[in-house]
Amino acid sequence: MRNRLPQKLRAIIFLVCMVACARLSGNDSAASTAAGGIQLTREPRISMQKERLFISAKKVRVEYEFANDTDRDIVTEVAFPIPDFAFEFDDPGGPRSMDDFKVWVEGKKVEFKTEVKASVGGKDITALLERYKVDANSFGHFDWNAVKSLDLAKLPATLQTELMRAGAFGANDPFFPAWTVSKTYHWTQDFPARGILHVVHEYQPMAGFTLIQTAQLDPEHRNRKITEAKTKMANDKGKVGDWVVESLIALDHEITDSCVDAKTQAAIVSAVDTRHSEPRTKNEGDNGDFVEFAWVDYILTTANSWKTPIADFELIIEKSDPKFIHGKSFVSFCWDGSIEKLDDRHFMARAKDFLPKRELHIAFFN
């Protein structure tokens, strides 16, 4: 915690945070990867009778009851697409490949196929990588300790050059992978006539993460900083990069889209203030103390590929484990309706005949 850190180390963290809080880039903070539920290419004969959705910063689990509303068995391909992801060096959000996806049908684990494609600037280079046995999904089995792609390192110099000319790798050492991965899990599923099918899937979400200061929870503060950055950029004639303004705007969206209201903001500030045992520095006094801000995105509208609406929908959100943060954690998300507090860590939102019109953006504050 803050009061256990030496003054010099606190100063270093403060300087790092001034970059991390403003610049939401791959090295300073992680952007979330917004995955969702399993989907079809519009199947109006199958309805979703129930959906039980559980989301924490560490796990997403979804339980479905699908109903075949016809007198015939329906056999169709079911897909779970992962949003495109690219290589990010030292991404605090972790690997983006989402390799821990699991699915069960009627309590039995299902074997599925995985389709992986790689592209650079919109050009498909999947076949090229396969030809030289460079694994697209793991970015050529990139070794974080050696800071290199092991698959690339095994190739002779002439083939390495060919891959660089194709844009698969950067031309400067270290040769970072430059492609974008498109990945889909899929399997063939039989939906019995006039029957109910129980399907469960789960995975670890690719959360976004950054450090902010408590003052940044205030929308007026954020708007003022955006205005100041725009003015400074104009006055400095390009010396201040566009990324400063863009990053401040991005942070504003992350907080706004999770509906952090004044009550939640005040509770976080109060919790942080009670932890202080030393005077604040001038900069800390202006901006507040540090807070870990993580967010998880979930694409709800994938459910609209089935016969709508969802008859019975339930969402449970779990806060972070308080034992890691001395009993204080907070969560915020947008929901049109009542939210029930189940206990100190769990909140539930429910809806009947639910037609998703927007995605979920859930903020976790430690």
How far apart (Å, rounded) are the C-alpha atoms in residues 128 and 318? 43
Task: Say if residue 239 is in the same domain as residue 290.
Answer: yes
The total domain count for the chain is 2
Whether the model clears a pTM of 0.85, i.e. scores above it, the answer is no
Q: What is the pLDDT of residue 338?
A: 93
Per DSSP, the three-state class of 171 is: coil
| Residue of 153, 150, 121, 289 whose CA lies nearest to 217 | 289
Per DSSP, the three-state class of 313 is: strand
Residue 87 lies in a domain: no
3-state secondary structure 42-85: CEEEEEEEEEEEEECCCCEEEEEEEEECCCCCEEEEEEEEEEEE
Res 86 pLDDT > 90: no
Average pLDDT over the chain, rounded to an integer: 82
Residue 352 lies in a domain: yes
State both tokens at 173: 């050492």
Task: Say if residue 10 is in the same domain as residue 56.
Answer: yes
Task: Say if residue 244 is in the same domain as residue 345.
Answer: yes
How far apart (Å, rounded) are the C-alpha atoms in residues 32 and 29? 10
Task: Say if residue 261 is in the same domain as residue 342.
Answer: yes
How far apart (Å, rounded) are the C-alpha atoms in residues 42 and 273? 51
| Residue of 34, 38, 79 whose CA lies nearest to 185 | 79
Task: Say if residue 334 is in the same domain as residue 217.
Answer: yes
**What percentage of residues in the chain have a pLDDT greater than 90?**
44
Residue 107 lies in a domain: no
Q: Do the beta carbons of residue 198 and residue 114 sit within 8 Å?
A: no
**What percentage of residues in the chain have a pLDDT greater than 70?**
80
Task: Say if residue 296 is in the same domain as residue 167.
Answer: no
Res 110 pLDDT > 60: yes
- 27-36 pLDDT tens trace: 234 455 667 7
Partner residues linked to 313 by β-bridges? 51, 351
State both tokens at 311: 């008859």
Task: Say if residue 258 is in the same domain as residue 343.
Answer: yes
Partner residues linked to 109 by β-bridges? 104
> Which DSSP helix (H) or strand (E) runs through 284?
helix 282-287
Task: Say if residue 243 is in the same domain as residue 303.
Answer: yes
pLDDT band at 22 (very low <50, low <70, confident <90, very high): very low
Q: Could you list the residue range(s) of the whole structural domain that residue 161 is in?
A: 126-178
